[in-house]
Chains A and B, each alone.
Chain A
Amino acid sequence: MIDWIAGGLAVAGATLALLAGVGVLRMPDVFTRMQASTKASTLGLGCLLAALAIRHPDVAIVMKAISIGAFMMLTTAVSAHVIARAAALTGAPLWSGTSIDERPVRRGDGDEASG
């Protein structure tokens, strides 16, 4: 039973990681690619870590899995924000179906870039 749950979680996590790859390849825009990569890969890694912790209920492995999961959930959000901010400030092109563009005028971007 434990093996079935762990195997299902592993396959689900790998499927989410595959969806992240498909999203990065197929999305039309820098920002949509960024959000596809970030969310899907974070949830996929969480599922894989849960499968690892269920399969090996050892204190050291579970603590390492929890620390890796917490660290990735923090740093993936931060790195996605930083990349999106850099792309917005350098004037990355938007998708043609974008309905609203709330970016500031990107002339003289030295002031916003230092904040």
Chain B
Amino acid sequence: MLNLTSAIALTMLALSAGLTFVRLVRGPSLPDRVISIDLIGILVVCVLVVVAGDSGQQAFLDVAMVIALISFVGTVAYARYLERGRP
């Protein structure tokens, strides 16, 4: 059973991810979509931190750190593609 504040926090994070997904679908240009994907990665890290605080399992924090690393590398790679891939 989740703690009450953890349930509230997870609901807010899910709502934020939904709003960001709307921008990911509607985004008029490619940098908007890259920003949305970056924010969704940060929100996944936030969800993992809340779940780790609720359950006390340390493995969630390791997963959060790895997802933060991969998200950063992916964002930088997208930015390099945006700069170089333009004709």
Chain A residues with a Cβ under 8 A of chain B:
6-8, 10-11, 13-15, 17-18, 20-22, 24-25, 30, 33-34, 37, 41-42, 44-45, 48-49, 51-52, 55-56, 60-61, 64-65, 67-68, 71-72, 75-76, 78-79, 82-83, 85-87, 89-90, 92-93, 109, 113
Contacts and interface: CB of A to CB of B under 8 A. Distances in A.
A64 B78 CA distance: 28
A78 B72 contact: yes
Given A76-B42, A90-B82, A83 B53 contact: no
B84 to A, nearest CB: 7
22 contacts: A6-B5, A10-B5, A11-B9, A13-B9, A20-B20, A21-B16, A21-B19, A30-B31, A37-B35, A44-B46, A45-B45, A48-B46, A49-B49, A52-B52, A64-B61, A71-B69, A72-B42, A79-B72, A83-B82, A92-B29, A93-B29, A109-B86
B75 A13 contact: no
Nearest to B38: A79
A90 B42 contact: no
Interface string B40-65: 00110110011011001010011011
Given A71-B65, A79-B76, A83-B34, A41 B42 contact: yes
B35 to A, nearest CB: 5
Contacts of A49: 49
Interface in B66-87: 68-69, 72, 75-76, 78-80, 82-84, 86
Contacts of A72: 42, 45, 68
Contact of B9 (A14, A20, A56, A76): A14
A22 B19 contact: yes
B53 A25 contact: no
**Which 3 A-B pairs have CB atoms at the shortest separation, nearest pair first?**
A21-B16, A7-B5, A14-B9
